Chain A
Amino acid sequence: MLKNLNILRHQGKQFIPDISSAKLANTFRGRPVISSEEVDENELMELCPTNAISANPVCIDLGKCTFCGECAINFPKKIQFTNDYKIATNIRENLIVKAGNDELIQLNVETIRKEIQEYFSGSLKLRQVSAGGDNSCELELNACSNVNFDMGRFGIDFVASPRHADGIVITGPITENMSRPLQICYDAIPDPKIVILAGTDAISGGIFEGSPALNRSFLSKYKVDLYVPGNPIHPLTFINGVLALIQKRK
């Protein structure tokens, strides 16, 4: 018993007291900032492994970006990744960062379905489905509930049964072989329910875009309530994104 108490004491304080103001290492690649510096835009676009960069003006689509940082390393004056991890949004277009526009990525409150804050602001139970995910977003979603991030304190938990869930969190590019189980799981969740896409692979297919082994037709059927970019997502991006989605607004 004493030994157990000692072990507990030796851990110190591990939890992050304020999830919304925690600071990450400067090296973390979160929201990019694109300057208006003139560069060879074709060369810049050619560099990107997932065609996330478009030209005139230069834009980076965080829904496609793998956050490898290669563009920022080759064009340091043009592109810089900041350590701003609050990059989740409910509007797909908001993930596109434009040159010369240093605005935060936020949710559009107007377009959040009314029932979300009505039903889920105090408690949200989520069912996660990995549909071709490489286990990196899955590791990070698990980390959301560990002693460091402790998402449970906000009433947000992952549950085993879709019957107990209020929504679905999809990771991975959605493979043909997972398309049916994903649909069955979604159908088993009672209404009203939300859809969250976690990670670049889920949002756009990422590096797997164009593979004949994918079947992303599920996404054309339902409204996505939250896009959480990252490769993998950072737990802070996920938690802050979900909190912003379900937050009670007067």
Chain B
Amino acid sequence: MNYISVKNNQTISFNEIPELEYPLFLEQNVFTLLKNETAHCVSYYGIKLENCIKLICCIADDSENDIKISSCIVHVNEPLNSFAHHNLVFEKFEREIFENFGVNYTNHPWLKPVRFPADRFSKNTSIKDYPFFTIESEELHEVGVGPIHAGIIEPGHFRFICNGEQILHLETQFGYQHRGIEQLFLSKKKLLQRSTLAENISGDSVVAHSLAFVNLWESLCNVHPDQSLKFERILALELERMAIHTGDLSAMCTDIGYQLGSAVLGRLRTPLINFFQKWCGNRLAKGLIRVGKTNFPFTQELEVELAKILDDYEKDFEEISDELFSLPSALVRFEKTGVVSTELATKLGNTGMAARMSNIKRDIRYSHPHDWYCEFVHEPILKQNGDVYARARLRKKEINQSIAYIRQLIKTFPVREFELPPISTPSVNSFTISLVEGWRGEICHSAITNSNGELVHYKIKDPSFHNWLSLSIAVRNNEISDFPICNKSFSLSYCGHDL
């Protein structure tokens, strides 16, 4: 075995990452490391060097609480045996490497573009030329949806192949939201610019992505925030989870035409995000999480207010949940709709909610804890059936868990100890990886610095990157009219995917 084992948010020297020959690199990551069911790939990407590509593969092992990192140098024209041919988990990672650098995979199951980025290898095609899968048959028809959808949501294209009302196949096409954010992390050099970029990766996961960035940066600069700062950040993360889960439950009610649930849950989200506004001046917590400091300390006054908000919320939330989950007309739409079995979810490498709904115990808070989560063992909530009902119940239960956590955090809020020293420059020639469990699932940021301590590579992976394929598979053999509720129950990100 030839890899380096690191902990979440640990900074190592970039040169310490072992470099393997490609066949061994494949053997180790695909066959040896992933044989263990508790292991999963958190990031796999390429870096352009002078006339070759350096591939870096990060496999997180939940049972050993570490991340095993190895690398390999390949050349553009060299024919390569694809990881994805042996394990589907790598399907999209390899498509990205192919799209960015023109790496020649000989046996990838579907080597298609991922997002048509501005700096892609081949500019011969653009986003309108995406090669969709088609089936020749007089009995089938295609339905194209998007990129612009009916509601106020982000753009992406869905191409269905249907037999009557039944979905045989769904292919999703993305890239419309591509803003070149990873490159901007390098070209915008001020720390505040980078914090701002992190909170604009996905506006529904402001805290989660910001937290991944600040944890990474503080590790790179070797600064250690005091307990109160760590508490505040986790409090914000759990509050974000509550707010977005509540909004998603409301939207799921909208999609099944349950107006009361939609209105009540929709308005229950309001006091939560208004609390963010009270705390930091922004309803989605932009500006709240900063490297090495906070501009908006959590005060006693806020403590009292939040406790009251939670009490009021809980009462009304339980009442509407009881009603929703005992309503036959809602249950008939939720149950056995959009099913992903445990076996399938494992095969696709699902993360976050999309793993836990299918009884896979995958949660960074439990397996790679950071900040406050180190102080106890987080017990992830699991559901068995992988259907829309499981995803709705999971949200309900996770909201209850977040309420309990926030109450605990308020009760034990530590005294502010010290002002942190000013942030220095990052360590030279270093590599850091940071994992955070956002409401959607596992977020992974990793960074590399050069001999002057300047950032030379920044990689972001949103859980949506793994989980979109899972939605495509989930809707097979469902009626096309059930697509909206399936889509909403996954609630995946377009901009987090397109970056």
- Are A29 and B493 also in contact (CB < 8 A) when A67-B287, A136-B204, A185-B148 are? no
- Whether A135 and B263, one on each chain, are in contact in the complex, defined by CB atoms closer than 8 angstroms, is no
In the complex, what residue of chain A is closest to B154 when comparing beta carbons?
A: A130
- Whether B152 and A158, one on each chain, are in contact in the complex, defined by CB atoms closer than 8 angstroms, is yes
In the complex, what residue of chain A is closest to B315 when comparing beta carbons?
A: A10
> Hey, which chain A residues are within 8 Å of B295, CB to CB?
69-70, 73
**Chain B, 66-98, CB within 8 A of any chain A CB:** none
In the complex, what residue of chain B is closest to A169 when comparing beta carbons?
A: B152
In the complex the two chains form, what is the Cα distance from A29 to B278 in whole Å?
A: 10
> Hey, which chain B residues are within 8 Å of A27, CB to CB?
277-281, 296
* Min distance, Cβ A237 to any Cβ of chain B, angstroms: 12
Interface residue range, chain A: 35 or more
- Are A130 and B152 also in contact (CB < 8 A) when A49-B196, A136-B204 are? yes
**Chain A, 112-158, CB within 8 A of any chain B CB:** 128-143, 146-148, 158
- Whether B495 and A134, one on each chain, are in contact in the complex, defined by CB atoms closer than 8 angstroms, is yes
Q: Which of A89-97, A101-109, A170-178, A221-229 contacts B (4 or more CB under 8 A)?
A: A170-178
Which residue of B152, B178, B280, B323 has the most chain A CB atoms within 10 A of its CB atom? B152
Bitwise, A205-217 to B at CB < 8 A (1) or not (0) is 0111011111000
- Are A211 and B267 also in contact (CB < 8 A) when A29-B281, A181-B176, A234-B283 are? no
**Chain B, 187-207, CB within 8 A of any chain A CB:** 187-188, 190, 192-193, 195-197, 200-204, 206
In the complex the two chains form, what is the Cα distance from A175 to B200 in whole Å?
A: 15
* Min distance, Cβ A122 to any Cβ of chain B, angstroms: 22
In the complex the two chains form, what is the Cα distance from A147 to B279 in whole Å?
A: 23
Q: Which of B113-121, B398-406, B451-459, B470-478 contacts A (4 or more CB under 8 A)?
A: B113-121
User: Is B140 interfacial (CB 8 A cutoff)?
Assistant: no
- Whether A28 and B118, one on each chain, are in contact in the complex, defined by CB atoms closer than 8 angstroms, is no
Bitwise, B251-286 to A at CB < 8 A (1) or not (0) is 000000000100110110010001001111111101
**Chain A, 1-29, CB within 8 A of any chain B CB:** 3-4, 6-8, 10-11, 14, 24-25, 27-29
* Min distance, Cβ B162 to any Cβ of chain A, angstroms: 20
Which residue of A67, A173, A180, A181 has the most chain B CB atoms within 10 A of its CB atom? A181
- Whether A177 and B116, one on each chain, are in contact in the complex, defined by CB atoms closer than 8 angstroms, is yes
- Whether A175 and B184, one on each chain, are in contact in the complex, defined by CB atoms closer than 8 angstroms, is no
- Are A136 and B260 also in contact (CB < 8 A) when A10-B316, A49-B196 are? no
> Hey, which chain B residues are within 8 Å of A201, CB to CB?
200
- Whether A207 and B178, one on each chain, are in contact in the complex, defined by CB atoms closer than 8 angstroms, is no
- Whether B202 and A135, one on each chain, are in contact in the complex, defined by CB atoms closer than 8 angstroms, is yes
> Hey, which chain A residues are within 8 Å of B247, CB to CB?
139
* Min distance, Cβ B234 to any Cβ of chain A, angstroms: 21
In the complex the two chains form, what is the Cα distance from A206 to B196 in whole Å?
A: 10
In the complex, what residue of chain B is closest to A200 when comparing beta carbons?
A: B200
Bitwise, B40-79 to A at CB < 8 A (1) or not (0) is 0000000000000000000000000000000000000000
> Hey, which chain B residues are within 8 Å of A173, CB to CB?
179
Q: Which of B148, B264, B278, B495 contacts A132 (CB 8 A)?
A: B495
> Hey, which chain B residues are within 8 Å of A178, CB to CB?
147, 155, 176-177
- Are A68 and B152 also in contact (CB < 8 A) when A11-B316, A27-B279, A146-B266 are? no
- Whether B177 and A132, one on each chain, are in contact in the complex, defined by CB atoms closer than 8 angstroms, is yes
- Whether A8 and B260, one on each chain, are in contact in the complex, defined by CB atoms closer than 8 angstroms, is yes
- Whether B178 and A175, one on each chain, are in contact in the complex, defined by CB atoms closer than 8 angstroms, is yes
> Hey, which chain B residues are within 8 Å of A167, CB to CB?
none
> Hey, which chain A residues are within 8 Å of B270, CB to CB?
14, 143, 146, 148
- Are A160 and B183 also in contact (CB < 8 A) when A49-B193, A69-B295, A176-B118 are? no
**Chain A, 42-94, CB within 8 A of any chain B CB:** 47, 49-50, 66-70, 73, 81
- Whether A3 and B323, one on each chain, are in contact in the complex, defined by CB atoms closer than 8 angstroms, is yes
- Are A211 and B183 also in contact (CB < 8 A) when A67-B287, A134-B203, A139-B203 are? yes
**Chain B, 279-304, CB within 8 A of any chain A CB:** 279-284, 286-287, 295-296
Bitwise, B346-379 to A at CB < 8 A (1) or not (0) is 0000000000000000000000000000000000
- Are A139 and B192 also in contact (CB < 8 A) when A4-B323, A177-B176 are? no
In the complex, what residue of chain B is closest to A130 when comparing beta carbons?
A: B154
> Hey, which chain B residues are within 8 Å of A35, CB to CB?
none
> Hey, which chain A residues are within 8 Å of B192, CB to CB?
47, 49, 68, 70
> Hey, which chain B residues are within 8 Å of A10, CB to CB?
315-316, 319
> Hey, which chain B residues are within 8 Å of A241, CB to CB?
none
Given pairs A66-B196, A207-B196, 6 additional interface contacts (CB within 8 A) = A27-B277, A29-B281, A49-B190, A208-B184, A211-B181, A213-B178
